[in-house]
Amino acid sequence: MEIIRTVAELKAKLDGAREKGSIGLVPTMGALHAGHLSLIQRARKENDIVVVSVFVNPTQFNNPNDLATYPRTEEADTAMLREAGVDYAFIPSVEEIYPEPDTRQFDLGPVAEVMEGAMRPGHFNGVAQIVSKLFDFTRPNRAYFGEKDFQQIAVIRRMAELEGFDIEIVDCPIKREDDGLAMSSRNVRLTPEQREVAPVIHRTLEGSLSWATDHTVEQTKRYVIDEINSFPFMQVEYYEIVDALTMQPITDWNDTDSAVGCVTVFCGDVRLIDNIKYPKRK
């Protein structure tokens, strides 16, 4: 595996490699865990060349404390990437990616206006900025993203459409710890007591599947919020049940064929997100 720090070097390497076969890109912010590994393994299986970027992108953080405390574990990350058979690890500095401020504003539309878009102003524009740069530098055939950030995938699809990128966006299922907690780089910031309580998020979402069969959308939202909030450290920021394509909240189960419940919960000061798909109504 080669570690690449500059855009010029990345482009030069991939220009040479492109004729030899397909390129799979896995964008990450590092602090890699088994969830990332599952994306990398899939990329490895489906492409001749695998590029993983490791870059904590400042423009997508609307909270300076979140950016400052985001875990950075480059040595462990590169060991994991080497072990996983990655060809190129792209690990640039902030100055390399943003030699000057990126002032682009993407017209991301309604998919970016709700949930994370409403709670974290500017977040998705920052995601669009970095992912469009990575797409441009790498020009991959496929790019891999985890479904834990369900709304992010819809936003990236929209950005790719706006920018005319002919790249297959591959969404990959959430990887979970044995107790159900969705794997996240932020989990390492949980205290042992918080870590013990955190699986209640997934447990409650799963419980809501049967609850939903004889309750309304509104009642199901209430159930999830009240249940999670009844545990110590836990404070739900939002729970929305949305159409899986448009990300628009539904009010009736028959409003969509594919409903997804998306939750954000503060466990202490660690912001955790998760989601669940509700089966189609007969």
If binding is defined by CB under 6 A, does position 131 make contact with ligand PAF?
yes
Q: Which of residues 98-127 bind ligand PAF (CB under 6 A)?
A: 127
The correct pick among 116, 149, 227, 240 for binding ligand PAF (CB under 6 A) is 149
The correct pick among 28, 141, 194, 208 for binding ligand PAF (CB under 6 A) is 28
Residue 30's alpha-carbon distances to 8, 75, 199, 245, in angstroms, are 21, 10, 23, 28
Query: Quick one: which segment of 10-18, 25-33, 174-182, 230-238 binds ligand PAF (CB under 6 A)?
Result: 25-33
Least distance between ligand PAF and beta carbon 214 (Å) = 36
Nearest to ligand PAF of 24, 27 (CB atom): 27
DSSP for residue 113: T
Q: Which of residues 172-211 bind ligand PAF (CB under 6 A)?
A: none
> Measured between alpha carbons, how far is 13 from 157 in angstroms, rounded to an integer?
26
Nearest to ligand PAF of 152, 275 (CB atom): 152
Residue 231's alpha-carbon distances to 66, 235, 274, in angstroms, are 23, 8, 17
Q: Going by DSSP bridges, is the β-strand pair 270-278/259-267 parallel, antiparallel, or unpaired?
A: antiparallel
Q: Which of residues 152-171 bind ligand PAF (CB under 6 A)?
A: 152
> What residues have CB less than 8 Å from 222, skipping those under 6 apart?
none
Least distance between ligand PAF and beta carbon 129 (Å) = 9
> Measured between alpha carbons, how far is 281 from 91 in angstroms, rounded to an integer?
45
Q: In the chain, which residue ranges form alpha helices assigned H by DSSP?
A: 7-18, 34-46, 64-69, 74-83, 94-97, 116-119, 123-138, 150-163, 192-197, 200-213, 217-229
If binding is defined by CB under 6 A, does position 264 make contact with ligand PAF?
no
Nearest to ligand PAF of 27, 261 (CB atom): 27
DSSP 8-21: HHHHHHHHHHHTTS
Least distance between ligand PAF and beta carbon 131 (Å) = 6
Least distance between ligand PAF and beta carbon 254 (Å) = 32
φ, ψ for residue 18, nearest 5 deg: -55, -40
The correct pick among 10, 14, 25, 29 for binding ligand PAF (CB under 6 A) is 29
33 is catalytic: no
Q: Which two tokens stand for residue 261?
A: 């419940």
Least distance between ligand PAF and beta carbon 141 (Å) = 18
Catalytic residue (one of 36, 123, 202, 215): 36
If binding is defined by CB under 6 A, does position 92 make contact with ligand PAF?
no
The residues assigned a catalytic role are 36
Residues of the shown chain interacting with ligand PAF in the complex, contacts defined by CB under 6 A: 27-29, 57, 60, 127, 130-131, 149, 152
